[in-house]
Amino acid sequence: MSSFKNIRIVDNFYQTSSFFPMPLCLVGTLDEKGETTSFGAYSLCFPYYIAGKGYYAMILECRNNSNTARGLIRHGKCTINFLQYSKKVFKEHVRLGYPGDTPEEKMKDFKFHVEDGLRAEENPEEKYPKVISEALQVFECTWVRELENCENVKVQEEYEEPYNNFNGITSKYGAHFILKIDKILIKDKYYDALINGVNKRNFCPLPTNWGYRDSMYFWCSNYRTPSPEVVPTRVVDITSVKYAANRADDVVKFSDDALEMLVKVPRPFLKLVLKGCVNWAKENNCTLITSKEMKIINDKRSKEKQKKWIDNYDSRIEKIEKI
Residue type, 323: I
- What mean pLDDT is predicted for residues 239-267? 92
Count of helices and strands (H, E) across the chain: 11, 14
- What mean pLDDT is predicted for residues 204-228? 93
Angle between helices 267-283 and 291-298 (to 10 degrees): 100
Q: What is the pLDDT of residue 89?
A: 97
Domain boundaries, the chain: 13-221, 230-317
Whether the bond into 162 is cis, omega within 30 of 0: yes
Which ranges in the chain belong to alpha helices (H)?
13-16, 67-75, 87-96, 103-108, 118-122, 188-196, 238-246, 256-260, 267-283, 291-298, 302-322
CA 243, CA 297: separation in Å to the nearest integer? 21
Q: How confident is the model at residue 313 (pLDDT cuts 50, 70, 90)?
A: very low
Q: What is the pLDDT of residue 315?
A: 58
Q: What is the pLDDT of residue 323?
A: 43
165-189 pLDDT, tens per residue? 999 999 999 999 999 999 999 999 9
CATH number for region 230-317 = 1.10.8
CA 189, CA 248: separation in Å to the nearest integer? 39
54-68 pLDDT, tens per residue? 999 999 999 999 999
Angle at 117 between CA 114 and CA 119, to 5 degrees: 150
The pTM for the full model equals: 0.84
Q: What is the pLDDT of residue 268?
A: 87
- What mean pLDDT is predicted for residues 43-54? 95
Contacts of 193 (CB under 8 A, 6+ apart): 199, 202, 203, 204
Q: What is the DSSP letter of 175?
A: E
Q: What is the pLDDT of residue 310?
A: 55
More confident of the two residues 166 and 237: 166
Q: How confident is the model at residue 152 (pLDDT cuts 50, 70, 90)?
A: very high
Percent of the chain with pLDDT over 70: 93
71-117 pLDDT, tens per residue? 999 999 999 999 999 999 999 999 999 998 999 999 999 999 999 99
- Does the structure show a pLDDT above 50 at 11? yes
- Does the structure show a pLDDT above 60 at 282? yes
Q: What is the DSSP letter of 13?
A: H
- Does the structure show a pLDDT above 50 at 125? yes
- Does the structure show a pLDDT above 70 at 321? no
- Does the structure show a pLDDT above 90 at 42? yes
Fold of domain 13-221: Pnp Oxidase; Chain A (2.30.110)
21-37 pLDDT, tens per residue? 999 999 999 999 999 99
Q: What is the pLDDT of residue 267?
A: 86
Q: What is the pLDDT of residue 120?
A: 96
Q: Does 230-317 match 13-221 at the fold level?
A: no
- Which of the residue ranges 97-101, 126-130, 248-252, 319-323 would you say has the lowest mean pLDDT? 319-323
- Does the structure show a pLDDT above 90 at 311? no
Q: How confident is the model at residue 312 (pLDDT cuts 50, 70, 90)?
A: low
